[in-house]
Amino acid sequence: MKAGESRSPSSPTCDQELLDEIFHELSQPLTTLECGLELAIRYDTTLAQVRKRLKVLLEAAEVMHQRLMALRNLQQELEPRVRNVQRSTVEQLNPRNF
């Protein structure tokens, strides 16, 4: 999209960009969780090692939770705009406006 162009918040491109952002934001902490659990199962033999690994994994889960909440807030901010765009589009198509 070129500078100065605007796009409807409900456009397919906007939806795809939001999905891309969600996948990007969640991939890193999810990978950390998966790899950390695998490492713990394979290599952690002492309670101290397990506790240290669990602390790192808890931090990754907290990051994922924070990102999900931020994305939820973004969705809630966009929802009214999408409804307003849809409503104004319907009003423009109303036969009384012709």
- Model confidence pLDDT, tens digit, residues 4-27: 444 444 556 777 887 888 888 889
In this prediction the pTM is 0.62
SS (HEC) of 42-69: HHCCCHHHHHHHHHHHHHHHHHHHHHHH
Percent of the chain with pLDDT over 90: 41
Set out the domains of the chain in order of their start, with CATH numbers.
12-91 (1.10.287)
Q: Is the pLDDT of residue 97 over 70?
A: no
